[in-house]
Structure 1
Amino acid sequence: MQIFEALLEWITIHWVTIIVVFHISLSLMTSVHVLLFKENERTSLAWIGLVVLSPVIGSMFYWLFGINRIKRSAQKKHPQTLKQKLKEDLRYQVRPIEFHWLPRNWHSAIIAGHNIHPVNYLTDNNIEPLINGDMAYPAMIQSINSAKHYIVLSSYIFDYDSIGHQFVEALAQAHQRGVIVNVLLDGIGVGYSWHKSDRALKKLGVKTARFLPAISLTSIRFINLRNHRKILCVDGKMAYIGGMNVSQNNVIKSSKHPIDDVHFKVTGPVIDQISQVFIEDWFFATRELIKFPKYKVNKYQDKAKKTCDKSIVARVIQDGPDEHHNRIRWTLINALVSAKNNVKIMTPYFIPDQTLITSLHAAALRGVSVEIIVPKYSNILFVDWVMAANFSRIIEHGIKIYKNNRPFDHSKIMLIDDIWSFIGSSNWDARSLEFNFEINMECFDTELNTKLTALFDSKKQNATPVLASDLKGLATYKKIRNNFFRLFSPYL
């Protein structure tokens, strides 16, 4: 008892020294970890500054949010048995690079693409743009209703509104018919509907899982690592990907708060690459390895293909804070290097890092027309401020930015030289390129590019160009506000 009292008295006398020593020790240990494991020097400097200037709190914030445990534990999360199976899969087989019918100036980009992401470019695909939920949801529900064997669905947001009810009912009916249904919902995104959609599906017997639940008794979870993929695959015959969540807001005709978006219906062998991403995500979330039917060409489809001169060459690019980290960023850079005539980008959040800005400027300096459409107002106010802070830097060298006056436009497409298209779930910001699990598709086809170019041009007609004179005339307090929030762009 006397020892305890003596210890308590010593702590009372020397508590300031104890706190200082603890802070210095913790700050030193944390700073060393930052220097060893953070690649971006500006981000590293920011973390070290926070750790040193915010005693204990800064270090705690770093250990909770600054470490990508998903990437560091990729070997554990994807054991050798699963990796061996993936290598045996079509998309991981080592094959000679096929350039198909693509222009010669893209051949080096295809070689680089294989080195960036070792997944084959596949031909004989068909990709149909579906504008807004008015077109996408009826097609998706019809596919669910026609399912005979297997359905997998992944969504970041699954609202339990009138559209959500339709999806829940269709999935439940498929389950009752004997179709195997797996629904994967993001651990944070499911909270947008207060978990109602998840509970409704489970109540009706549909098997669901949550990707990185926000609250877990077995491990620490992170709100900044999210599954942003949107995937629907049915029987290995058709698939849907893009940027569209399940929400009534995407039905423009009947929504009070409409959101413009574009989704894509996919048929062809590239479906196997899409479903394989879901299989990996499901295993990641549940440790259960599911099977999904491979795409098969029937004799009527085969005859139809033989009558066509060419079809869409496509492959899936997956990205995330795991072993697939940075593959979308490198794919964008690789495509921009290959651009000869024009680059068209439409995204809801445009906060590129310096490397991507430099790649865009390099294209513009070569005489390539670079046009970018962003919403006039997004659904996140401070993101609008950050985008505005970057406008003056981006529009140098002739790059043109347009602000779409329509309701919030969530569309995500990139088009190059009338042949290359990039579609999927990724935005041009740090959240998509650093923290989120994303799925995109790289496509070579003039007809698809023409359709998406028409969509881009129609949006541009309703957009206002960003002018250097307007940026110079912006109120000083707005410039200060915008540039202050720009400091946090690596974490948005």
Structure 2
Amino acid sequence: MQVLEALFEWVSFHWVTIIVVLHIGLSVVTSLHVLLFKENERTSLAWIGLVIFSPVLGSLFYWLFGINRIRRIAKREHPQTLKQDFRYKEDCIDFHCLPENWHSSVIAGYAIHPVNYVDDNSIEPLVNGDNAYPAMIKSIQAAKHHIVLSSYIFDYDSLGRQFVNALAQAQQRGVLVHVLLDGIGVGYSWRKSDRALKKRGVRTAQFLPAISFTSIRFINLRNHRKILCVDGEEAYIGGMNISKSNLVKSAKHPIDDVHFKVTGPVIDQISQVFIEDWFFATRELIQFPSYSPSTPKVKNDKSVVARVIQDGPDEHHNRIRWTLINALVCAQKSVKIITPYFIPDQTLMTSLHAAALRGVAVEIIVPEHSNILFVDWVMEANYPRIIEHGIKIYKNKRPFDHSKIVLIDDVWSFIGSTNWDARSLEFNFEINLECFDKNLNGQLTELFESKKFNAEGVLEEDVRGLSIYKKIRNNLFRLFSPYL
């Protein structure tokens, strides 16, 4: 007791000194970490300022939210043979009869992400949950061997319960079912969907749980991928979570979105991403059926050439950003973008302006009102900088549009889970399909034009006419856009 009393007395007398020493020590260590591992100069300076001028709390905040890279144990420990079939051979690049102006893009594409472009794929757009969910549930009900499902949000509403029932019934008839939910996204339903699946015998796992002794410093890193693969025969990817809000015809607060049904050899690349994510979350290596065409391979003009581009705050960091830059360089006629959040970094914005200055028609559709008010303010703050070189922005008056599509000329399409903001490009694990096909591009161009019909263009006089209060508010929040 005397020792404890003496210690308490010593701490009471020297508490100011202790806090100062702790602050200096933490500040030095944290600032060194910022200098060594942060690439953006302005972000680095902001973090160091926060660390120095917010004793202890600034350092703690950095270690909780400032580290946006992790080492994927799954990548180190996966048998390398799992990836060999997807990798290209440097001395034998197949351009798949693509237009010649895209050949340099294919060469650069392999350098950015060394995974093969494969043909003979079919990709069907499914607009809104009214079309996507019945198709997904039908595929689950027809499954014979194995189902893998990954979703950021899996609501336990009337729609979510349909998925729970379909997955549980598949499990009961002998199908292997694995469901991967994001550690933060699962909280949107208070983990009800996770508990319901487990209660019915379905194997589930959480990607970077929100509460964990090993991953608390990665609370800002989320798995934003939406993947459903069935028997190696059908796959679904896009930006659509599992929620009745995507049932536009009946939802109280509907959300527009588009998902994609995929058949063909690119399914193996999609399922591989799930296998790696599952291993990372559970240390369990699952064997998923490979794609096996039911009919002999037939070449045709409508075959989609596609490959998976995965991105995340790991060794795949920046691959989607570089893929977009690479494609924008090849644009000759048009660039069309649909995104719920348009807050690109300076590099992507410069690439879009460079295309516009070459005479390429660049058009962007964003929601008139997104689901995050201050993101709308940031986008509004950026409008003057964006339209400066002839880029056109349209605000969609429909319900909140969560679609994520990029179209270049009449051949290149980029679809998946990625938004045009720092969260998607820096902090989230994402999956996209890079596609070459005139027919798919044409279908998505029709969708773009239909959305533009319901949209209103952003005019220079409207931007200039904003009140000074709104300009100050918008630009204040713009300073924090890398962290939104």
TM range (shorter): over 0.9
**TM superposition shift of 1:162:** 1.2
Name the CA distance, whole Å, in 1 between partners of 2:75 and 2:431: 18
Q: Which runs of 5+ in 1 are unaligned?
A: none
In the alignment, what sits opposite 2:23?
Answer: 23
Contact 1:127–1:312 at 8 Å: present in 2 too? yes
The one of 79, 82, 86 equivalent to 1:91 is: 86
In the alignment, does 2:232 pair up with 1:236? Answer: yes
Letter in 2 for 1:138: P
Whole-angstrom CA distance in 2 between matches of 1:347 and 1:337: 20
Please give the alpha-carbon distance, in whole angstroms, between the structure 1 residues aligned to 2:293 and 2:114.
Answer: 24
CA distance 1:172–1:7, shift in 2 (3 Å)? closer
Q: Secondary structure at the match of 1:92?
A: coil
The residue type paired with residue 297 of structure 1 is: P
Out of 436, 439, 443, the residue aligned to residue 451 of structure 1 is 443
Verify the 8 A CA contact 2:68 2:220 in the aligned structure 1: no
**Distance in 2 of aligned mates of 1:460 and 1:310:** 26
Deviations 1:246-271 (A, max 9, x none): 11010111110100000000011000
CA distance in 2, matches of 1:6, 1:279: 56
Cα shift at 1:36: 1.0
Match of 2:176 among 161, 176, 180: 180
Match of 1:155 among 129, 151, 165: 151
Alignment-derived partner of residue 258 in structure 1:
254
- Does residue 327 of structure 1 match 2:319? yes
Distance 2:75 2:195 in 1: 28
Distance between the aligned counterparts of 1:268 and 1:87, measured in 2?
Answer: 18
Contact 1:171 1:181 in 2 (8 A): yes
Contact 2:302–2:439 under 8 Å retained in 1: no
State the 1:4 CA deviation. Answer: 6.4
1:108 corresponds to which residue?
104
Equivalent residue number for residue 66 of structure 2:
66
2:82, 2:89 → 1: CA distance? 12
Cα RMSD, aligned residues only:
1.6
% of aligned pairs identical? 77
TM-score (norm. length: structure 1): 0.95
Residues 2 and 193 from structure 1, CA distance in 2 versus in 1: closer, same or farther, beyond 3 angstroms? closer
The 1-side partners of 2:68 and 2:458 are apart by 36
Equivalent in the alignment of 1:190: 186
**Does 2:361 correspond to 1:369?**
yes
Mapped contact 2:254–2:399 kept (Cα < 8 A)? yes
Relative to structure 1, the CA distance from residue 59 to residue 218 in structure 2 (aligned partners, 3 Å threshold; closer, same or farther) is closer
Q: Could you tell me which of 469, 473, 476 is aligned with 2:465? A: 473
* Aligned partner (choices 123, 126, 129) of residue 125 of structure 2: 129
Aligned with 2:86: secondary structure? Answer: helix
Mapped pair 1:272 → 2:268: yes
CA contact (8 A) 2:102 2:330 kept: yes
Q: Distance in 2 between matches of 1:14 and 1:217?
A: 31
Secondary structure of the structure 2 residue equivalent to 1:298 = coil
Is the contact between residue 412 and residue 427 of structure 1 (CA under 8 Å) also seen in structure 2?
yes
Structure 2, unaligned runs of 5 or more: none
Which of 427, 432, 452 does residue 440 from structure 1 map onto? 432
- Taking the aligned partners of 2:180 and 2:189, their CA distance within structure 1 comes to 15
- How far off is 1:93 after superposition? 5.1
Q: Distance in 2 between matches of 1:196 and 1:19?
A: 43
Larger mean CA deviation between 117-126 and 92-101 belongs to: 92-101
Name the structure 2 match of 1:378.
370
How far apart are the structure 1 equivalents of 2:260 and 2:5?
Answer: 71
What TM-score do you get using the length of structure 2 for normalisation? 0.97
1:248 equivalent to 2:240? Answer: no
Residue in 1 aligned with 2:200? Answer: 204
Name which of structure 1's ranges 187-196 and 8-17 shifts more when overlaid on structure 2. Answer: 8-17
* Residues 1:309 and 2:331 are matched in the alignment: no
C-alpha separation in 2, matches of 1:4 and 1:157 = 50
Contact 1:65–1:224 under 8 Å retained in 2: yes
Q: What per-residue deviation string (whole Å, max 9, x for no partner) do you get for residues 300-324 of structure 1?
A: x53xx34x23511000000011111
Shift of 1:218: 4.5
Give the 3-state SS of the residue equivalent to 1:114 in structure 2.
helix
Separation (CA, whole Å) in 1 of partners of 2:80 and 2:439: 37
C-alpha distance in structure 2 between counterparts of 1:424 and 1:205, whole Å: 30
8 Å contact 1:158–1:245 — kept in the other structure? yes
| Structure 2 counterpart of 1:79, one-letter code | R
Q: What residue is the counterpart of 1:398 in the other structure?
A: 390
Letter in 1 for 2:365: I
1:203 deviates by 0.9
Q: Which whole-Å deviations, capped at 9, do the CAs of 1:94-140 have from their partners, x for residues lacking one?
A: 36211011000000000000000000000101100000011101111
The alignment partner of 1:170 has SS state of helix
Contact in 1 for aligned 2:164/2:197 (Cα 8 Å): yes
2:349 is equivalent to residue 357 of structure 1 = yes
SS of alignment partner, residue 446 of structure 2: helix
Question: Contact 1:212 / 1:221 at 8 angstroms: preserved in 2?
Answer: no
Residue aligned with 1:236, SS: coil
Which of residues 319, 340, 349 is equivalent to 1:348?
340
Superposed displacement of residue 462, structure 1:
0.6
Following superposition, the deviation at residue 21 of structure 1 comes to 3.1
Deviation at 1:53? 1.2
Q: Does 1:143 align with 2:113?
A: no
1:79 equivalent in alignment to 2:71: no
What is the Cα deviation at residue 65 of structure 1? Answer: 1.5
Tell me, in whole angstroms, the C-alpha distance in 2 between the residues paired with 1:4 and 1:166.
60
**Residue 480 of structure 2: aligned partner:** 488
Tell me by how many angstroms 1:372 deviates. 0.3
Deviation (angstroms), 1:297 = 1.5
Q: Distance in 2 between matches of 1:13 and 1:192?
A: 47
The residue type equivalent to 2:375 in the other structure is V
